[in-house]
Structure 1
Amino acid sequence: LKKKDFGKPPHTVIIPGRLHFTESDALKILGECVDEPFDNSEKTKKISKQMMEKYVPMVREALKEIESHYKNEKEFQVILENANLYIQDAEKFLEDGQDEVAILSIGYADGLVDALRLAKGLDPKM
């Protein structure tokens, strides 16, 4: 890196991810940095967070809409309850930093709600 000719400065190195502190130190030394390397990923919303912000309200609304179709059918109450619990779990997992599990949980909730909609001849929500 030190011997590579990059042409006339200024130069920028963009790394699409977080740097370990040792990588940051290596960049400072090997790259002869004028400025301190900085991490702007803190300002970027994770994809999982973006997905949850979209899907949780959508699935919650779809669940509310379908509940009235099953109010007198006790055998389906456990499915409605499980869908609601999956939504709550998804929010808790995201809060706890378990992003992948959060996405799985909201997906399970969405699947249950879609199955209930299909059983009543309604189109799934998108």
Structure 2
Amino acid sequence: MLEWKRVRSGIRPVPDPTATSMVWAVAAATAFALVAVFNFLDGEGDPTLDLVAISITAALVSTGARLTAAPGTALLCWLVLNVYATAPIGALTWEAPYDLGRIVCLLAAAGTGTVLARLAHARSAYHRLTP
């Protein structure tokens, strides 16, 4: 199959974002690893520490992503957090105010990571292109 690509010349002012599927895969795998480590270290305790760690991870993983990847990143991280860090372990549950707050926290972290990275890239590109 023939794939058409645009030929670019010169300096690319802002780096291309990472593929959304790659961002989602890394976010889910990292969230699962964090929850597994926290469950091993402190057992099935309060998932607040898990939420904070996964939110920071979602923000870091989202630095190379498009903004449209943030909702999927937050949802995947929430699924891992809900199934493996919140009692009963291994069951998907829904408690509206509690789970909605966690989803909003994860979405805010993923969106903030993406926006801050895009602003930093745009600022550095501006400084590279202006005399």
TM-score range, shorter chain: under 0.3
Larger Rg: 1
Normalising by structure 2, we get a TM-score of: 0.25
By relative contact order (CA 8 Å, sep 6+), the higher-ranking structure is: 2
TM-score, normalising length: structure 1: 0.26
